[in-house]
Chains A and B, each alone.
Chain A
Amino acid sequence: MTGSRRQFLGAAVAAAGSIALRPLAAQDQSPLRTPDTTTVRGDLLRDPDGVGQRRDTVTAIDNDAGIIAIERQLKCTCGCTLDIYTCRTTDFTCTYSPALHKEVVAMVQDGKSAEQVVRFFIDREGEKMLMAPAAQGFNLAGYLVPGFGMLAAGLALAAYLSRRRDVVAVATAGGASTTAPDAESLARLKRALDEVDS
């Protein structure tokens, strides 16, 4: 009797196990699957590597406006063209921007001002760390040449056109005063006008 009870319990556990595991096994064999609902909330993911590298837990300072403002001025060094903030919240394969972010946070928590943080990175990595060059020295050319170029082109265009108008006006006035249309031309003009009128 004891043996049969054990056998019964064993069989029951095996049956329950096979029922519980059947969906998972079936999914493993199928190349195309429907959404999996077997993962229990808060549990480990079935394929943790499928969601990329592990991420640091988000804290309030990650959304701090002051930190974000600093990071928006500084370029990520991973080779992308993004600032640190955009890169760390966009390119989740980048390992550089989270590290740079930690450095910024550490410096701000040490009491450094935004200017000091930015200066630190410029001193360490060079001027290319800035998302836009500082408006000083040669860099001023970068900011001013387009505007001045347009202004100069506009002025040159206006001057040229005004000179052209004067030249045409003088030529027209001069011509009219020295050579009036002859009688034959006037007669042809009259005939042509008569034709138009008729």
Chain B
Amino acid sequence: MTYLGQFALWAAVLVGAWGAALAFFGKWEERPALATAITRSSYALCAALLVAAVALWKGIFTHDFNIEYVAAYTSRNLPEYYLISAFWAGQKGSLLFWAVVLSIFGALAQALTSQRFKAMLPYVAGIVNIVAIFFVMVMLFGGANPFERLAFTPPDGRGLNPQLQNPGMIIHPPMLYLGYISLTIPFAFAMAALLAKQLDAGWIVAMRKWALTSWLFLSVGITIGMWWAYVELGWGGVWAWDPVENASLLPWLTLTAFLHSVMIQEKRGMLKRWNMGLIVGTFLLTIFGTFITRSGVIASVHSFTQSAVGYFFLGFLMVAAILSFTLLYTRWPLLQPEAQLESMVSREGAFLYNNLALVGIAFSVLWGTLFPILSEAVRGTKITVGPPFFNKVNIPLGIFLLFLTGVGPLIAWRKASAANLRRQFIAPLLGGIVALGALLASGLRSPWALMSLSVSAFALVTVIQEFARGIRARMTMHAEGAPVALMRLVARNRRRYGGYVVHVAIMVYFVAFTGLAFSTKTTVDLQPGQTASLKSAYGHTWTFTHLGVSQYEALNRRVSAATLEVAKDGVKMGTIKSEKRQHVDSFGNPTFEPSTEVGIRSDLLEDVYVVYAGSPDGTERASFSLLINPLVSWFWIGGGILVFGGLLTMWPGGPQVKTARQRASIQAGYTVPLAGVAE
């Protein structure tokens, strides 16, 4: 099968290059048959890469340890569901995964895009083909070929890293990859629009669902990554500002900015250049993230092995940046706005500030991630930029953004009047003030926590107010009951109300992050029968009684499980088990250092988090890290709300959104040239 895999990779390069050459040099505008051939090259590329993927999966599932990749990331006793995730667990497999998924997305873009945009499709195919064959070339020429064979066949493989043997790791990497990879499609449409000089709102309509899909995949991938970090790494947090985490956050931030500013382009025909710049920047940030993850240029706890592959991505990043921005520069005059901002106190103004905050946060994260390199280059001194730096810089910006999340929907388009502002802001401001008062009364004194929670309350009331007004209006106009009015309101304005639901999810994330800042922690040694206690941020006293350690064997590991009985203010709440796992191969030989599985008892208010650290003397006397983490469940609830809101926004059907130009023509209904009036 490896020969077939190798052959498929080469076939993919050839067919991809052929399709790209036709797209850029084929004069297909004059010969429509060539446009069909270009589209078919996308399908052929997809088929070839699918064959390669099947070949690798066959090697993994048949335990062909003569394939170096299979021997490095699997073993005979690895559970089958982790054989699936072994495909993308290593550098080489993940590159193939990227290329395959990109080719599938490329083919789907050709198949699903409306014929209205057919002038762009050959360019889209060409750009997707180029990006996909770049990944295949890295595999073939960058020392990352997943079909490379060993000179001998080991009896068993090394197995999968224990930290990757977690359900979250089956979902988290593919979700992030899907987010990263699908971003190539909006980028390809943007480039196609520039190349074809079709710079009306068409390209936005053509790629909008792709951008939303990418955003949703990235959001889910980041959230599941947070969950994995929380349940697997044992430090009790969800976000450590690690460079690899930052690399996933950067395109999410700029894509979020794009999804907001593109609304201004659709409604008012403004910000065309900015939107082009944002989508190009977002794509480049995905390549930058790939470079960081795979080059080892910046220290990270969970990047791939340092290799020369990263520098292929650096080269690709530079070439893509130069070509994209040069193309954008040459089309600059064609991207004139159709309207001007009439007032900074308007919905457009709020969106601009929102974009400024999102891009500002992205810049500060990028700046902090790269600052160690800059410092070494300028001063010759190595420094560390860790969580204290990022928190100091980004918490104020984050709260400002949260404030804008609330403000944006309240302000009218074009120009808000004083009466409009008064009417819209009274309830949300009251909500924020009441929350602030309640928090102060409850004894909370941390300024950042007070700001975060009260601004969240302010923003939440804006969303409730928007829903309430919409429902009330429908009830009055259509004599509907409240539930029916709610359903119809949302069904007929999915983007708007889906967006509000996403806003609620972001507020919930902020609340959860604020809660986690009040985590309490201690380390203890306990003999069986001994008890330790820890006070939570709410003032509850949790007691932990060590019941003992049991040792047993499971499929691919030897397990030592320590069990604690927990009680809250003297009331028994059950037991929590934390494990040490020594993974072994099928001959019983240890494969990795012993890993830790945390024990968690979760409710809406706080998590009890137990980590069995080991034994001081080889007896049942056990060392534990004990944590009480407030409000952590709300991260996962927020994730659920976010997915619901995202899907609502993307759900097919509903009224067509009209572009600024379409609306203008409908409103006027005639054209009369009036001299001296700017467009």
Asked if A96 is at the interface (CB within 8 A of a chain B CB), the reply is no
Contact yes or no, B529 A39, CB < 8 A: no
Q: Do most interface residues of chain B lie in helix, strand or loop, or is the interface mixed? A: mixed
Asked if A130 is at the interface (CB within 8 A of a chain B CB), the reply is yes
One of B360, B392, B525 near A150 (C-beta < 8 A):
B360
Asked if A129 is at the interface (CB within 8 A of a chain B CB), the reply is yes
In Å, the complex CA distance between A133 and B379 comes to 13
Interface residues on chain A, number (Cβ under 8 Å): 83
- What residues on A are CB-neighbors of B477 within 8 Å? none
Contact yes or no, B552 A44, CB < 8 A: no
Contact yes or no, A42 B527, CB < 8 A: yes
Asked if A171 is at the interface (CB within 8 A of a chain B CB), the reply is yes
User: Closest B-chain residue to A53, C-beta based?
Assistant: B614
In Å, the complex CA distance between A32 and B614 comes to 23
In Å, the complex CA distance between A157 and B527 comes to 64
Asked if B341 is at the interface (CB within 8 A of a chain A CB), the reply is yes
Asked if B367 is at the interface (CB within 8 A of a chain A CB), the reply is yes
Contact yes or no, B384 A132, CB < 8 A: yes
User: Closest B-chain residue to A34, C-beta based?
Assistant: B552
Contact yes or no, A146 B594, CB < 8 A: no
Asked if A58 is at the interface (CB within 8 A of a chain B CB), the reply is yes
CB distance from A190 to the nearest CB of B (A): 10
Contact yes or no, B582 A49, CB < 8 A: yes
Asked if B340 is at the interface (CB within 8 A of a chain A CB), the reply is yes
Contact yes or no, A185 B674, CB < 8 A: yes
Contact yes or no, A81 B389, CB < 8 A: no
- What residues on B are CB-neighbors of A143 within 8 Å? 389, 392-393
Contact yes or no, B393 A80, CB < 8 A: no
CB distance from A189 to the nearest CB of B (A): 5
Known: A81-B299, A189-B672, A196-B670. A57 touches B525 (CB 8 A): yes
Query: C-beta contact mask, A8-32 vs B, less than 8 Å → 1, else 0?
Result: 0000000000000000000100111
In Å, the complex CA distance between A48 and B672 comes to 89
Residue from A42, A58, A86 whose CB has the most chain B CB atoms within 10 Å: A58
Asked if B305 is at the interface (CB within 8 A of a chain A CB), the reply is no
Known: A43-B619, A48-B618, A54-B615. A83 touches B386 (CB 8 A): yes
In Å, the complex CA distance between A62 and B626 comes to 13
In Å, the complex CA distance between A132 and B234 comes to 23
- What residues on A are CB-neighbors of B381 within 8 Å? 126-128
One of B521, B560, B596, B618 near A92 (C-beta < 8 A):
B596
In Å, the complex CA distance between A45 and B616 comes to 11
In Å, the complex CA distance between A189 and B669 comes to 11
One of B356, B368, B614, B617 near A52 (C-beta < 8 A):
B614
Asked if A116 is at the interface (CB within 8 A of a chain B CB), the reply is no
Contact yes or no, A51 B672, CB < 8 A: no
Contact yes or no, B523 A146, CB < 8 A: no
Contact yes or no, B623 A126, CB < 8 A: no
Contact yes or no, B367 A145, CB < 8 A: yes
Asked if B242 is at the interface (CB within 8 A of a chain A CB), the reply is yes
- What residues on A are CB-neighbors of B552 within 8 Å? 27, 33-36
User: Closest B-chain residue to A58, C-beta based?
Assistant: B525
Interface residue tally of chain B, by bracket?
A: 35 or more
Known: A143-B392, A164-B341. A47 touches B551 (CB 8 A): yes
User: Closest B-chain residue to A171, C-beta based?
Assistant: B678
- For chain A, residues 114 to 150, give those with C-beta under 8 angstroms from any C-beta of chain B: 126-133, 138-139, 142-143, 145-147, 149-150
Residue from A50, A56, A80 whose CB has the most chain B CB atoms within 10 Å: A50
User: Closest A-chain residue to B526, C-beta based?
Assistant: A58
One of A48, A89, A149, A196 near B360 (C-beta < 8 A):
A149
- What residues on A are CB-neighbors of B342 within 8 Å? 165
Asked if A63 is at the interface (CB within 8 A of a chain B CB), the reply is yes
Contact yes or no, A81 B618, CB < 8 A: no
Asked if B528 is at the interface (CB within 8 A of a chain A CB), the reply is yes
Contact yes or no, A50 B560, CB < 8 A: yes
Measured CB to CB, the residues of A under 8 A from B are 27, 30-37, 39, 41-58, 62-63, 73, 75, 79-83, 86, 89-93, 126-133, 138-139, 142-143, 145-147, 149-150, 153-154, 157-158, 161, 164-165, 168, 171-172, 174-176, 178-181, 185, 188-189, 192, 195-196
Extra 12 A-B pairs, beta carbons < 8 Å, given A44-B618, A48-B618: A30-B553, A33-B554, A42-B527, A42-B620, A48-B615, A54-B616, A90-B233, A92-B614, A129-B384, A142-B389, A150-B357, A179-B675
Cross-chain pairs A/B with CB under 8 angstroms, 25 sampled:
A27-B552, A39-B548, A39-B549, A41-B527, A43-B619, A44-B619, A47-B560, A50-B551, A50-B582, A50-B594, A75-B386, A90-B611, A127-B381, A128-B382, A133-B383, A142-B385, A143-B389, A146-B367, A147-B364, A150-B397, A158-B344, A164-B340, A180-B675, A181-B672, A192-B669
Measured CB to CB, the residues of B under 8 A from A are 233-235, 240, 242-243, 299-301, 340-342, 344, 352-353, 356-357, 359-360, 363-364, 367-368, 371, 375, 378-379, 381-389, 392-393, 397, 521-525, 527-529, 548-555, 558-561, 580, 582, 593-594, 596, 611-621, 623, 625, 669-670, 672-678
